[in-house]
Amino acid sequence: MICISILVPEMHHPIYYEIYLPNIFLQMWLASLEREFWATGTVNEDMLKAIDILFYNFPRLRITEAATLCIPQLVGALKTGTEAAQEAALDALLLLSQGWAAESVNEIGKTQSVAMVEAIPLLQLVMRSGPEHFQEKAEELLQCLPGNLVVTI
């Protein structure tokens, strides 16, 4: 009873709607994406689009641990997804990358950019053989990786 009385006022605080609620949604969609991928071997385009929209509407969410945990699924969607899934994954990664390019990159931004190492060969392939609008996005992602990662474009 005491816990509920403490939580109820917190739920009406604006920060709850800016950070915690979107974070919960992101974690749920991430779990669903992973579950569906292991069950069917496909990536759900709608969930990827929802993650992209969440990152767009809630910029603070981009610099959370949950956002960092999304990167492997987004990279996986680039590998195995349909064109629409790949585009949603690229868009979400571009939104995340805005935190990597900042001069005062925090620890989460560094962790996210390092998590992108696995995607470098894939992004290079997209630049060589993907649709033109994918090539531009892939190049932008490669350009914003930190200087300690050498990338040949």
Q: What is the pLDDT of residues 37-47, one digit of tens each?
A: 777 877 888 88
End-to-end CA distance of the chain: 59
Nearest C-alpha neighbor of 113 from the set 100, 122, 126, 124: 100
- The tokens for 53 are 């929209």
For 91-135, what is each residue's pLDDT tens digit?
A: 999 998 887 765 456 787 778 878 888 888 888 888 888 888 888
- This prediction has a pTM of 0.77
